[in-house]
A and B are shown apart, each in its own frame.
Chain A
Amino acid sequence: MSTDFEERLRAARDTLPKPDSTVSTEAEQHALAGLPTAIGKPRRLPMPRRRRLAGVAALVAAALLVGGFAGSELASSTRAATPTPVPAFTPTVGWTMVQTSVGPPDVPPPNKPVPVAWAANLPFDAQDLGTTWPNPPLQNLPSDGIVISVAGPSEGPVNQQARIVKPPYRVEDMYFWASADAAAHALNAADSYQGEPAPNVSLYWISAPTGPDRGIGISVWMGRNDPTPAMKAAADQELARLTLPPPTATTPTNTTVPTTTTAP
């Protein structure tokens, strides 16, 4: 039974501020466009069949495709630089790179599909990303495992009030969610973060503007809740190999998983 005091308290509910309409609009666009893996599914490239048919030739083609997409240092050192249409990681020993572009084609901004570049210090294939969350590479991340995803650039208004990070990207500049969350200490309220793939997996993440109407989302999952300095350094080094599309580039609207490669 409510007391008079509680009734007076309820009557004051309208004093609780409401979100600004501009912020709301930006937040909606950012939420829908910033992390496409949320509401799209990676399309599977018929890579096994292509490999079966073309063998080594397919691997060579994939490597060239990576070079072209990445605008990588390797590529630029041997031929004229080409525009980078999607984010990519310069191939390096010990890291696997997968690119995905999700969602239906021919969608205008801000709902255009946003490509995602994945990098991991363990072997995995685009098909391992699957269509469910959490996907196997994250769910089964070993204690020294690192998986990085970079989604973007999204197109459309970006919340310029968000924390801005600029290259070189460093995990220490990002938000950190571990299994033992801040809430456990501050309010004794939670012991995990939503979407946590497995109890041992922690997440560094940031959604960062890269221009007035473009932004990227970076997620770095690690296989332990207290990532070691070596793991953080390894993630930073891989992030330093990230290549983002130039501002004038257009993202492809085809829905493919173009490459899966491990550097030689």
Chain B
Amino acid sequence: VVGDDEPRLVAQARLGSREAASALFRRHWPTVWQVAYAVLGSRAAADDAAQEAMISAFAALESFDEQRPLGPWLKRIAFNRAVDELRRRRAPADANGHQTDQSSPAADEASELAAGGPIAAAVARLSPERRTIIVLHYWLDCTREQIAEILDLPAGTVASRLGRALTDLRSVLEEDHVH
């Protein structure tokens, strides 16, 4: 929810107000974290990605157009950061042995989101792309236009991907014999 006072808070934060920056953080942090979780499906990974997203966002606050709502911008940063983390986790180790964390988020999914019931379990089993668009639209109340901005996609593409995500979700539920 974007409050009427958000442009003022952004302006104050730019001028160095810790109180304003703190208010902005607390207003948007839960959703930013949930976007990261939607992509990564892992609480620990979402902690890192969301925190790094907020650090990055505050670092670039001066580049933000205060005439626009802050939420979609923060969500997009969180989304990008989470995708970056997803790639890092999937990347094979290099010749020097770095970057070896290829842990699957499946364990976290099973232990948390999937414990929320059959629909949540089915959402947890979707691919990150499908899961993210479902979470953004149905659980975080983002419009297609907002999703287009967050994912940097044409609105028409968002609509088609949302449709495919719903189809996949139905398929998963049918596999689980949930009707």
Query: Which of A's residues lie within 8 Å of B, judged by CB?
Result: 5-6, 8-10, 12-20, 23-24, 26-28, 30-32, 34-35, 37-41, 102-104, 107, 111, 131-134, 159, 161-163, 172-173, 175, 177, 181-183, 185-191, 193-195, 205, 207, 217, 219
**B8 contacts partner chain A, Cβ-Cβ < 8 Å:** no
Out of B18, B62, B139, B152, name the residue touching A111 (CB < 8 Å): B18
Do residues B83 and A195 form an inter-chain contact, with CB atoms below 8 A?
no
Do residues A32 and B18 form an inter-chain contact, with CB atoms below 8 A?
yes
Pairs A–B under 8 Å by Cβ, sample size 25: A5-B170, A10-B138, A12-B139, A15-B119, A16-B37, A16-B135, A18-B34, A19-B33, A19-B34, A27-B51, A27-B54, A28-B54, A31-B57, A38-B21, A38-B59, A38-B61, A103-B16, A104-B16, A181-B80, A181-B83, A181-B84, A190-B76, A194-B73, A195-B56, A195-B60
Which chain A residues border B73 with CB–CB below 8 Å?
194
CB distance from B113 to the nearest CB of A (A): 6
Do residues A38 and B58 form an inter-chain contact, with CB atoms below 8 A?
yes
CB distance from A66 to the nearest CB of B (A): 25
Do residues A18 and B33 form an inter-chain contact, with CB atoms below 8 A?
yes
Query: Which of B's residues lie within 8 Å of A, judged by CB?
Result: 13-14, 16-18, 21-22, 25-26, 29-30, 33-34, 37-38, 43-44, 46-48, 50-52, 54-63, 73, 76-77, 79-80, 83-84, 86-88, 94, 96, 98, 112-113, 116-117, 119-120, 123, 128-129, 132, 134-135, 138-140, 151-153, 166, 169-170
Do residues A17 and B112 form an inter-chain contact, with CB atoms below 8 A?
yes
Which chain B residues border A134 with CB–CB below 8 Å?
63
Which chain A residues border B112 with CB–CB below 8 Å?
17
Do residues B37 and A31 form an inter-chain contact, with CB atoms below 8 A?
no
Do residues A32 and B25 form an inter-chain contact, with CB atoms below 8 A?
yes
Which chain B residues border A219 with CB–CB below 8 Å?
59
A40–B134 Cα distance when bound, in Å, is: 37
Do residues A182 and B86 form an inter-chain contact, with CB atoms below 8 A?
yes
CB distance from B164 to the nearest CB of A (A): 13
Do residues B77 and A194 form an inter-chain contact, with CB atoms below 8 A?
yes
A162–B50 Cα distance when bound, in Å, is: 11
A207–B13 Cα distance when bound, in Å, is: 21
CB distance from B169 to the nearest CB of A (A): 7
Nearest A residue to B25 by beta-carbon distance? A28
Which chain B residues border A32 with CB–CB below 8 Å?
18, 21-22, 25, 58
Nearest A residue to B54 by beta-carbon distance? A31
Do residues A195 and B55 form an inter-chain contact, with CB atoms below 8 A?
no
A31–B24 Cα distance when bound, in Å, is: 11
Out of B13, B37, B129, B153, name the residue touching A17 (CB < 8 Å): B37
A104–B46 Cα distance when bound, in Å, is: 32
Taking A19-B50, A194-B56 as contacts, is the C-beta distance between A183 and B25 under 8 angstroms?
no
Out of B18, B63, B98, name the residue touching A133 (CB < 8 Å): B63
Taking A10-B139, A19-B47, A39-B21 as contacts, is the C-beta distance between A194 and B134 under 8 angstroms?
no
Do residues A17 and B43 form an inter-chain contact, with CB atoms below 8 A?
yes
CB distance from B45 to the nearest CB of A (A): 10
Taking A15-B120, A16-B139 as contacts, is the C-beta distance between A27 and B29 under 8 angstroms?
yes
Do residues B30 and A18 form an inter-chain contact, with CB atoms below 8 A?
yes
Out of B16, B21, B135, name the residue touching A41 (CB < 8 Å): B16
Out of A8, A28, A185, A194, name the residue touching B87 (CB < 8 Å): A185
Taking A32-B22, A39-B21 as contacts, is the C-beta distance between A12 and B120 under 8 angstroms?
yes
Out of B16, B63, B87, name the residue touching A182 (CB < 8 Å): B87
Centre residue among B34, B46, B47, B79 by max chain A CB count within 10 A: B47
Nearest A residue to B91 by beta-carbon distance? A182
Given contact pairs A9-B169, A19-B30, A190-B79, enumerate 6 new A-B contacts (beta carbons under 8 Å): A9-B119, A17-B113, A24-B30, A177-B84, A191-B152, A194-B56
